[in-house]
Amino acid sequence: MPRRQQMPTRAASSPADDLADEGAYQGLAYEDYAMPWMSAELAEVAQCRFVKADLSGGRLHRSHLTACSFAESDLANFQATDSSLKASEIGLTRMTGFGWVNGVLEDVTVTGCRANLSSFRFSRLKRVTFRDCVLSQADFQNAKTSEVRFERCDLTSAQFSGVELGGAVFDGCTPTDIGGVASLAGATVSGHDLFSLTRTLAAALGIRVDFGDAG
């Protein structure tokens, strides 16, 4: 779980506090802040709060965010590569097409977000919880996870090929037609989720399941 965050000390102002290459940002409140298509490399962001902020289409590379929070914001098509997000929270935020690739997520909670078509390929996820999220067609291919939880998430057609799911928990999710189902070995799956996985597991094993009148 994320550590307790300190409150930002002042409101961010544009353009001085727009994320930029090699910038350092600490204790800022980005509220009702428009920063779409921003691009930054080697940025350091700590103890900042983003509320109703627009970072859609943004790009981060080799950057680090620590003890930050995002609420009711727009992270659609936001792409981060070789970057880290630690001790942070994302809630009620639009994340369609969001990408955190070849990076690190640690002590992060994502709650009530629409994150369909998101990608976490080749990233390391440690103590990350996805709760009440839409993760349909999300891509976790070749990610390495530790103590990751999926609670009441829509995982329809999500991709888990090559994932290392050490200690992962799936509870109350919709794991229909997920890819790479064999990679779920070692995960804890609730009974409800296992029933939903029946067709996918059977298809992966080349088993034809006859549900009779159930279709």
Judge whether residue 144 has pLDDT over 70. Answer: yes
Judge whether residue 109 has pLDDT over 60. Answer: yes
Long-range contacts of 139-144 (CB under 8 A, 24+ apart): 141/180
Q: What value does the mean pLDDT of the chain take?
A: 90
Q: What is the pTM of this model?
A: 0.89
**What's the confidence (pLDDT) of residue 176?**
84
Note if the bond before 15 is cis, omega within 30 degrees. Answer: yes
- State both tokens at 74: 């727009």
Is the CB of residue 26 less than 8 Å from the CB of residue 5?
no
The confidence band for 207, taking pLDDT boundaries of 50, 70 and 90, is low
Judge whether residue 50 has pLDDT over 60. Answer: yes
